[in-house]
Amino acid sequence: HNKTNLLVEFDYRNLREMFKIDTADYMISISGSDALRELSSPGKSGSIFFLSQDDQFMIKTLRKSEVQVLLRMLPYYYRHVHAYENTLVTKFFGLHRVRPSSGQKFRFVVMGNMFCTELRIHRRFDLKGSSLGRSTEKIKIDENTTLKDLDLNYSFYLEPSWRDALLKQIEIDSEFLRNHSIMDYSLLLGFHYRARQNLQIGSSCPESILPDKLTVLSEADAAEKDSAYNYRDGLILVQRGSDKNGSDAVGPHIRGSRLRAPSGCFEEVDLLLPGTGRLPIQLGVNMPARAEKEGKQEEGSKSLHHMYDVVLYIGIIDILQKYNMTKKIEHAYKSIKYKYNPLSISAVEPQFYSERFLKFVGTAFPQNSSNQ
């Protein structure tokens, strides 16, 4: 392994300590003998993505400009993730430089894999709140396709206090990025949905959409969890387990506080799913929700609403794009070339970008179902 010898590490030990990552394990994960898996790159940036064999780390090659942004922002980034333990921004664990024996040196950053979960992620979206060029051209859409804004046919209903907490945190994170003139970041959203038999098809039944009707079982009832599945629909929450083994087995980058269920006397709760251990619920991690999918609206007939019980994973990614002269020129050029409303183009100023982003997030997570 010539490569490993040439690996230069910038000092990210503090960050890893904060995220509770053991440096020895970390080095083994990213530079051990197991091959990294290359992912098809979702972006136009030309970056290459890898996933560590244990699924915990996402590795991305960086352009020079991105390295500069990261290095400059680092002390502030550190302060931000320290101040807001539930922050949704990408978790950075290390920046490394490799000079292969042949070829040019390159740098890569190691991040937490947001989708490090034993649940299968069925759909994934990269959302910016911009509509121009924001759809996926792929004909075949499967669980590995990263979909974009225009492909999003779902609204997500969260328990109201969880929704408030989520939107508030996204607002703070977005303000942090705006303060550093960062833009073009995305909300990465993935979800797992329950088996088909749990799909409900119907309409105009607002009560059943409200996730505050999530069932919370007591510890004793939870012991009977198999029978609980036999007679209950939907997602089941249980009071937080005391068994440390099962319930805390989440990715190492999962830090921050656990969510409490108002309908469970504000206890910390776990999500109980068949075939998995208990899943601790945190902001952006293992969040139970109802996804409502708009059916095709045919003339004269009522539109169908498909409802799914889903488990959501949410984070803010691609935070190393700074607004600079190049962007300004690109913006002016696009406005002229496409004759579009300049405000719908994704190269807009950070302030505006942030406002549009937040507005979009607000609509993707509506307050609750309206009576229509």
* Sites of contact with ligand NAG (CB under 6 A): 65, 80, 141-144, 151, 153, 160, 172, 175-176, 179, 206, 296, 321-322, 324-326, 367-368, 370-371
CA nearest 349: which of 330, 336, 365? Answer: 330
Q: Which is nearer to ligand NAG, 101 or 370 (CB)?
A: 370
We find the least distance from the C-beta atom of residue 142 to ligand NAG, in angstroms, to be 4
Q: Which is nearer to ligand NAG, 111 or 183 (CB)?
A: 183
Both tokens assigned to 327:
């962007």
Q: Which is nearer to ligand NAG, 202 or 206 (CB)?
A: 206
We find the least distance from the C-beta atom of residue 280 to ligand NAG, in angstroms, to be 25
Backbone phi and psi for residue 25, each to the nearest 5 degrees, phi listed first? -60, -40
Q: Which is nearer to ligand NAG, 24 or 195 (CB)?
A: 195
How many other C-beta atoms lie within 10 A of the C-beta of residue 226? 8
CA nearest 270: which of 242, 247, 300? Answer: 247
We find the least distance from the C-beta atom of residue 167 to ligand NAG, in angstroms, to be 13
We find the least distance from the C-beta atom of residue 324 to ligand NAG, in angstroms, to be 4
Q: Which is nearer to ligand NAG, 93 or 115 (CB)?
A: 115
Sign (positive/negative) of CA torsion 59, 63, 69, 75?
positive
We find the least distance from the C-beta atom of residue 285 to ligand NAG, in angstroms, to be 21
CA distance to 202, 262, 308, 333, per residue, from 207 (Å): 12, 17, 14, 49
Q: Which is nearer to ligand NAG, 21 or 170 (CB)?
A: 170
Helix, strand, coil percentages, rounded to 5, for the chain: 35, 25, 40
We find the least distance from the C-beta atom of residue 186 to ligand NAG, in angstroms, to be 15
- The DSSP annotation for 114-132 comes to TT-SSS---EEEEE-S--T
The C-alpha atoms of residue 49 and residue 26 are separated, in whole angstroms, by 17
How many other C-beta atoms lie within 10 A of the C-beta of residue 44? 7
